């Protein structure tokens, strides 16, 4: 079970991972539309008070996936990896986004966005002594969402490791660089589209 | 089955085979025979090479048989290839 949750790509890659990744992406789009969640960056998830349209949710997913794939694939070859199948890199990176399928559930009934607004209103009303009581109901969701972020990064690391077969510096440094560039690239594209 | 020792336990030099025996008629052949690169691989690496040959070199079939993903099998193959290269270098340096 631990292997399936943290290092699934030692067992599943290629078409299997790609199929799972497509299913996860579609579920994330449905969740984003239903519970007003924006995935506005490879690692980002924000809870909106406004309605998130199907077009916006789909665009978010496509740009996040394409950014991650392009950056990871090019960087892997730039660092000396050879013979990586595109289907393995794309499939594992898409399947790695499985934890984010759960992210929109934190915003059922606008739970997160309502309390966020209450906090912002409290700060605006009394900046020196704001009412932070709306923060308390958010704490469990904040902790759980951090777990999902860590889980996503762990799965993306496993995808990078299995697909590139790198070790030591190229494994850790390459992954860190790829993740940062992919995050910046996706955020940049999404801000340009908006 | 006992594992064939391939290095001298005293000085770590690669061992040679000096004596071979026919289990049927007990004929004994004596001489100095080098072990091949394959003999120096660990048992799990030897098993991998055997499976690789039996599957006609198809990593896809290997992945299905070993219950691993395609890139994982390729990574094991790369590790075995670099081990064989290391062994060849070590054997040639021991001979010279």
In tens, the pLDDT along A125-144 reads: 888 888 778 788 889 999 99
Query: B-chain residues within 8 Å CB-CB of A16?
Result: 69
3-state SS string over chain A? CHHHHHCHHHCCCHHHHHHHHHHHHHHHHHHHHHCCEECCCCCCCEECCCCCCHHHHHHHHHHHHHHHHHHHHHHHHHCCCCCCCHHHHHHHHHHCCHHHHCHHHHHHHHHHHHHHHHHHHHHHHCCCCCCCHHHHHHHHHHHHHHHHHHHHHHHHHHHHHHHHCCCHHHHHHHHHHHHHHHHHHHHHHHHHHC
Domain extent, residue A21, equals: 2-193
- Give the nearest partner residue to B67 out of A11, A16, A83, using CB atoms: A11
What local confidence, expressed as pLDDT, does residue B2 receive? 79
Structural domain boundaries in chain B: 36-95
By CA distance, what is B66's nearest residue in A?
A11
CA closest to B78 among chain A residues: A165
Question: For residue A155, is pLDDT > 80?
Answer: yes
pLDDT at position B83 is: 96
pLDDT tens readout for residues A87-119: 999 999 999 999 999 999 999 988 888 888 888
Q: Quick one: pLDDT at residue A131? A: 78
How high is the pLDDT of residue A93?
98
* Residue A189 confidence (pLDDT): 94
* Contact with chain A for residue B57, Cβ under 8 A: no
Architecture of the domain defined by B36-95 = Orthogonal Bundle (1.10)
Residue A123: the pLDDT is 85
Question: What residues in B contact A163, CB-CB < 8 Å?
Answer: 71
Considering only alpha carbons, which residue of chain A is nearest residue B70? Answer: A13
Domain count for chain A? 1
């Amino acid at each position: 079970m631990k292997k399936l949750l943290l290092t699934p790509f030692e067992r599943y890659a290629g078409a299997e991972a790609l199929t799972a990744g497509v299913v996860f992406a579609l579920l994330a789009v449905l969740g984003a539309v239903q519970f007003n969640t924006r995935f506005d960056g490879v690692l980002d998830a924000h809870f909106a008070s406004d309605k998130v349209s199907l077009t916006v949710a789909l665009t978010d997913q496509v740009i996040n996936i394409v950014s991650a794939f392009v950056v990871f694939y090019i960087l892997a070859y730039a660092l000396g990896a050879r013979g990586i199948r595109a289907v393995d890199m794309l499939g594992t990176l898409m399947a790695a986004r499985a934890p984010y399928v759960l992210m929109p559930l934190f915003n059922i009934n606008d739970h997160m966005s309502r309390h966020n607004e209450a906090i912002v209103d409290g700060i605006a009303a009394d900046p020196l002594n704001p009412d932070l009581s709306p923060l308390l109901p958010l704490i469990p969701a904040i902790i759980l969402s951090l777990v999902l972020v860590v889980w996503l990064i762990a799965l993306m690391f496993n995808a990078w490791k299995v697909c590139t077969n790198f070790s030591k510096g190229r494994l850790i440094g390459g992954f860190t660089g790829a993740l940062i560039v992919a995050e910046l690239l996706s955020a940049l594209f999404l801000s340009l589209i908006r | 089955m006992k594992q064939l020792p391939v290095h001298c336990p005293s000085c770590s030099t690669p061992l040679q085979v000096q004596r071979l025996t026919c289990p049927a008629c007990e004929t004994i052949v004596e001489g100095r025979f080098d072990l091949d690169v394959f003999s120096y691989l660990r048992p799990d690496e030897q098993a991998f090479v055997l499976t690789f040959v039996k599957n006609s070199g198809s990593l896809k079939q290997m992945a299905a048989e070993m219950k691993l993903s395609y890139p994982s099998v390729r990574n094991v193959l790369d590790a075995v290839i670099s081990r064989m290269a290391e062994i060849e270098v070590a054997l040639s340096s021991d001979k010279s």
